[in-house]
Structure 1
Amino acid sequence: MSDKFATEFATENFIEYLSKIDDRTMEATFKFVLRHDLENKKGEQPLMLVVHLAGQRKLISTGIRLIPELWSAEKQEIVDMTAKQKTQLEKKFGSVVPPKSHLLQYQDDLLEIRKNIRHIEESFRAKNLPYDLDMLISKLKDSKKPKIKRSEPTHLVYDFIDQYIQENELTRVKGSMIVYKSLKRYLKKFQDTRNANVKFENMDYAFMQAFQNFLINHKEIHPTTGTVNTLNNITIAKQLSTLKTFLGYARRKGIKVADGHKEFTVKKDKLEVIALNKKEFDSLYALDLTSNSRLDQVRDVFLFSCVTGYRFSDLCQLKREHIKDDEIRMTITKTKEPSIVPLTRISRQILKKYEERISPLPMISNQKFNKYVKELCKLAEINDPVEIIRYRGSVRIANIYPKHDLVSAHTGRKTFVTISLDKGIPAEVVMKVTGHSDYKSFKRYISVDEERKKNEMNRAWD
């Protein structure tokens, strides 16, 4: 090989080598890193995108914050938690740990960022345009994809309601989660009327107003009777209060929720207190039921509630072990608080009547009990007319019913409060028995009947 040919060959190879270096230099490299120096009080760190190109380096925020345990620097991806790992992290970090659906969205966002950088570079090359890091970053920021700032998944609200129910159904009273299932159903119907997805980020004051108006105007046809059903203000207030509670829970779980809903005030109509007065209680107690054992047992359970203040759920869990000497000691089902209720003449009589049974009281299902107790009170001629007033928006709806039609299992607890106060027992003592911690929640149980009002007025002024 001549010296000239060798020189030309070497030059060509060197140029080709330089070309390869240039091509390699013009392709950006990037990775995601957590900024440990910017950790917030919750233990979260911002996830940054580090881009290298032609000797230049820049950091870009992804808009994502994570606790370090949820990021794998080696694999460059969000950690896929098991249920056990999630439980352990929640014990350590609490509500900072996001739901799995949230983490999956983060992972999709990071994948889109990677794809978009390569797409931008290919676009520059296809047009034979030289570019530098600033041009690449500018295009990346202007681009609608990837979504560097996380966009809320379409079904996140509904998925999160399901998650809330799943997380709380074992610790809450059976049946108390039904209102959340109803909320999910109403939100979906509301979404259909708006032709827009319901999202946490849009649940502001205007949303709450619009949802309230939807509930006021909402009508449903009963599948069996064909009657048109509407919601009254009490049911609507329950749905709105449940939604506000749920949004607070979502916020504590790290989901970005619009602030405006906090300013929305839920207006609650007062409920009528259905309670027996002393005369009605005595007539029920004296009723001859020797020929009707079914209603006789229902009466005993109802009267036991009237003289102890226990809810139906507490009567269902009552065991022999809870009865000690002259009192009942057990933990209340709803509040999980310990309760001590002294036994009285009537409660002792009822317990003695069923002392041969395994259970202290002859309990049946709540549905059957509510049906039979109405029949029982009708037989006892508890027939005074009671006006029930409900509102649907500003529309007043008034109906008059015989009192026996309005009696339910919960009437026993209200009767205990009403008659106890009528007999002169101080409110603080009654509250101690019923387990009420503040007078605000206790006072709605108080029913002042006309006879008691007349007696008190006469005693004070005559």
Structure 2
Amino acid sequence: MIKINFSIRPFVKPNGQVAVRARWNSKRYEVTFITGAYADASKWDNDLRKAKHGTTHVVRNMSFTYCDINGRIADFKQTIEEAFAKCSLANTMPTASELKSMVNKALGRNEHEEATPEEVKKRNMKQMIAWFLDECGREKNWDDQAKEKYTQAFQHITKANPHIKPDNITIEHMYKLKNWYIKQGFRNRTINKQVTMLKGFLKWIDTKQGYNVPSAVLNFETNLKVLPKTVTFLHYDELLRFAHFEFTNDKSGRLTRARDFWCFMAFTSLRISDLLQLHTNHIMDGRIEMFAQKTGEHLYIPLTEEAIAILNKYRGKGTADGHVFDIPSAQKLNDAVKDAAKVAGLERIITEVYYVGTERKEISYKFCDIISNHDARRTFVSCSLAMGIPAEVVMKCTGHSNYNTMKPYIETATETQTLQMEKWNKNQYRSQIINLLEDADEDKLKKILSYLKRVV
């Protein structure tokens, strides 16, 4: 067994990244590990080499507590010490690449650690993209869907500029990418989203040693005209008609179930991800209480009579593990809802106007052809606001903290929210009465008026 003298030094890089440097063999070998955390230099204890107690660090629009930062440092220090101990027992002196590999493997990390500017600059665009997705994916907890969106954006820039390299991206490349999108027929709204994602990647590259992305590239704007997005939803009378439509040729019950599950989302504001996870434990005292799958927001949703009726209809028909509804998948529900909407005759024409470059385009659809799971949530918001339910009450149900079609979020008492949600039930009866009155003759209307004068 040999003795390995080594030192481990946590520090904060100029860009705010928290790193841990290991040196050994009389400083002949050195490896710097990036922990994935960021720290505010003013809240960093240079003597203790860790974040100051009780501090919160907001850097690059990311927030890290002192516990998170110091915890990551401790994990790296312990893993590095264990790696040296193994090498000492094996009577071997590790090289820089060997130690890096041992530590990354023990921590379940990919081989994207910064070593020297020279090593970093040798990486091609594909390698830099993989590094970006790995590092930022861990920092921001991206799921596979989020990573796929970035991957598609990166594929576009390499198609538009086949010979592009990470260290030579210019403003000309950005204009070429913009023109490529337009020629491919992408809508301006989509082009702006893709360019924004790419700029996020370029800003990340700019923080790496050996790279200096021109400010003109980082500040690039497409200046493309974008119209407000068409919001698709059912009006209240359409929602009730859909909710009570009788499917006469639905022996398997597929259309009825799809309609009921969609309408339940429309009556409660739940996302499809929350509907799939809705458990019997989430329903209590006439309300739903759960944490949103997408945002983690606490949801408090008083149940309307229509929603309660659907729950009663499917009581005891959920999954074995207690989920309220037995839904195969979000995609299968989406497909079935389209079929149900066609049979129910939801054929209101939706017209969408958009731009591709400077060319104005217009396209029309039947609602049943484009209805989606998320339209149920939009229906809840639109109908609620149309009924006069305050935006802050609606936002408490949906879990939104910032919604551009509503007033700024204002916390309201749950008692007030429950009273306001009663407007759903009242409006249901008003709508049914109006529909009946339209079919009544003059004599019946006189009798109804006489009765109402007595009871109201």
TM range (shorter): 0.5 to 0.7
**2:164 alignment partner AA:** N
Contact 1:72/1:79, CA 8 A, preserved across alignment: no
Q: CA deviation at 1:92?
A: 3.8
Equivalent residue for 2:51?
none
**1:264 alignment partner AA:** F
The one of 427, 432, 436 equivalent to 2:391 is: 427
Identify if the C-alpha distance between structure 1 residues 299 and 68 changes in structure 2 by more than 3 Å, giving closer, same or farther: closer
Q: Does residue 1:279 correspond to 2:237, yes or no?
A: yes
Give the SS at the match of 2:364: strand
Query: In the TM superposition, what whole-angstrom CA distance separates every residue of 1:161-212 from its partner, at most 9, and x where no partner exists?
Result: 442475369x3455232201212221221231xxx3331x444544333322
Equivalent residue for 1:394?
358
Equivalent residue for 2:264?
304
Q: Does residue 1:263 correspond to 2:215, yes or no?
A: no
How far apart, CA to CA, are the structure 1 residues paired with 2:346 and 2:364?
14
Structure 1 unaligned blocks of 5 or more: 1-33, 46-64, 110-149, 219-229, 444-462
How far apart, CA to CA, are the structure 2 residues paired with 1:416 and 1:103?
49
Identify if the C-alpha distance between structure 1 residues 255 and 322 changes in structure 2 by more than 3 Å, giving closer, same or farther: farther
How far apart, CA to CA, are the structure 2 residues paired with 1:66 and 1:304?
47
Equivalent residue for 2:134?
163
Q: CA deviation at 1:249?
A: 4.3
Identify if the C-alpha distance between structure 1 residues 403 and 88 changes in structure 2 by more than 3 Å, giving closer, same or farther: closer
Identify if the C-alpha distance between structure 1 residues 231 and 89 changes in structure 2 by more than 3 Å, giving closer, same or farther: farther
Equivalent residue for 1:22?
none
Equivalent residue for 1:376?
340
The two structures have a TM-score, normalised by structure 1, of 0.61
How far apart, CA to CA, are the structure 1 residues paired with 2:115 and 2:152?
27
Equivalent residue for 1:180?
150
Q: Does residue 1:154 correspond to 2:124, yes or no?
A: yes
How far apart, CA to CA, are the structure 2 residues paired with 1:369 and 1:398?
29
**1:419 alignment partner AA:** C
**1:236 alignment partner AA:** I
Give the SS at the match of 2:146: coil
How far apart, CA to CA, are the structure 2 residues paired with 1:330 and 1:93?
34
Q: CA deviation at 1:322?
A: 1.2
Contact 2:268/2:380, CA 8 A, preserved across alignment: yes
Identity over aligned pairs, percent: 26
Q: Does residue 1:198 correspond to 2:165, yes or no?
A: yes
Identify if the C-alpha distance between structure 1 residues 88 and 165 changes in structure 2 by more than 3 Å, giving closer, same or farther: closer
How do 1:285-364 and structure 2 match up within 5 A?
285-289=243-247, 291-292=249-250, 293-356=253-316, 357-358=318-319, 359-364=323-328
**2:254 alignment partner AA:** R
Equivalent residue for 1:69?
21
Contact 1:277/1:415, CA 8 A, preserved across alignment: yes
Identify if the C-alpha distance between structure 1 residues 393 and 197 changes in structure 2 by more than 3 Å, giving closer, same or farther: same
Contact 1:374/1:407, CA 8 A, preserved across alignment: yes
Contact 1:105/1:153, CA 8 A, preserved across alignment: no
Identify if the C-alpha distance between structure 1 residues 437 and 83 changes in structure 2 by more than 3 Å, giving closer, same or farther: closer
Equivalent residue for 2:182?
216
Q: CA deviation at 1:234?
A: 2.6
How far apart, CA to CA, are the structure 2 residues paired with 1:427 and 1:91?
41
Q: Does residue 1:407 correspond to 2:418, yes or no?
A: no
How far apart, CA to CA, are the structure 2 residues paired with 1:376 and 1:66?
54
How far apart, CA to CA, are the structure 2 residues paired with 1:412 and 1:246?
34
Q: CA deviation at 1:290?
A: 5.7
Give the SS at the match of 1:103: coil
CA RMSD after TM alignment: 3.8
Contact 1:154/1:197, CA 8 A, preserved across alignment: no
How far apart, CA to CA, are the structure 1 residues paired with 2:379 and 2:18?
54
How far apart, CA to CA, are the structure 2 residues paired with 1:435 and 1:179?
24
Give the SS at the match of 1:334: coil
Identify if the C-alpha distance between structure 1 residues 99 and 364 changes in structure 2 by more than 3 Å, giving closer, same or farther: closer
Contact 2:18/2:35, CA 8 A, preserved across alignment: no
Give the SS at the match of 1:177: helix
Identify if the C-alpha distance between structure 1 residues 70 and 205 changes in structure 2 by more than 3 Å, giving closer, same or farther: farther
The one of 379, 382, 385 equivalent to 2:349 is: 385
Contact 1:387/1:401, CA 8 A, preserved across alignment: yes
Query: In the TM superposition, what whole-angstrom CA distance separates every residue of 1:65-98 from its partner, at most 9, and x where no partner exists?
Result: 99671444725233276999xx98993499xx99
How far apart, CA to CA, are the structure 2 residues paired with 1:283 and 1:90?
56
Give the SS at the match of 1:78: strand
How far apart, CA to CA, are the structure 2 residues paired with 1:310 and 1:420?
14
Identify if the C-alpha distance between structure 1 residues 216 and 342 changes in structure 2 by more than 3 Å, giving closer, same or farther: same
How far apart, CA to CA, are the structure 2 residues paired with 1:104 and 1:42?
15
How far apart, CA to CA, are the structure 2 residues paired with 1:198 and 1:441?
41
How far apart, CA to CA, are the structure 1 residues paired with 2:74 and 2:218?
25
How far apart, CA to CA, are the structure 2 residues paired with 1:101 and 1:176?
20
Structure 2 unaligned blocks of 5 or more: 1-6, 37-67, 76-99, 101-108, 408-456
How far apart, CA to CA, are the structure 2 residues paired with 1:346 and 1:243?
45
Identify if the C-alpha distance between structure 1 residues 438 and 162 changes in structure 2 by more than 3 Å, giving closer, same or farther: closer
